[in-house]
């Protein structure tokens, strides 16, 4: 069985960033629908997406809801650095800080996941 860790680094600033987010979501959906293991990690500027995706009027909100159980979490350090930590906490998505305040991608590689970045 294939295993993927989808890491979303894309910012919220441009149409291209939205495209990278949409591609990440589609990739995660493909793995989920194939009953493969998939974890989604928001890191870097990508942490800013969580508060936006949690809004019901966001056009990707329904996809976000369907994939919420696959979201491993959001970088704690970056959430603070980009000023969205409290907004992320309010969504109930876990803050990740396994390696110096950041998510550990090594743990996924050690478990046989392929890391895909967007």
Note the Cα 22 to chain centre separation in Å. 11
Tell me the per-residue pLDDT of 62-103, one tens digit each, with 9 for 90 and over: 999 999 999 999 999 999 999 999 999 999 999 999 999 999
Domains of the chain: 3-112 (3.40.1260.10)
pTM, to two decimals? 0.96
Residue written as token pair 């928001």: 42
Tell me the per-residue pLDDT of 13-60, one tens digit each, with 9 for 90 and over: 999 999 999 999 999 999 999 999 999 999 999 999 999 999 999 999
Return the structure tokens found at 33.
Answer: 């629908």
- To which H or E segment does residue 49 belong? helix 49-53
Confirm if 19 and 11 have CB atoms less than 8 A apart.
no
3-class state of residue 75 by DSSP: strand
DSSP structure class, residue 48: G
């Amino acid at each position: 069985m294939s295993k993927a860790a989808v890491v979303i680094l894309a910012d919220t600033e441009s149409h291209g960033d939205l495209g990278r987010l949409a591609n990440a979501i589609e990739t995660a959906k493909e793995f989920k629908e194939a009953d493969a293991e998939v974890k989604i990690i928001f890191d870097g500027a990508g942490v800013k997406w969580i508060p936006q995706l949690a809004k019901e009027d966001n056009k990707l909100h329904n996809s976000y809801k369907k994939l919420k159980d696959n979201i491993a979490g959001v970088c704690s350090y970056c959430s603070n650095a980009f000023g969205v930590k409290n907004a992320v906490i309010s969504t109930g998505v876990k803050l990740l800080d396994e390696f110096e305040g950041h998510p550990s991608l090594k743990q996924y590689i050690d478990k046989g996941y392929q890391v895909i970045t967007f």
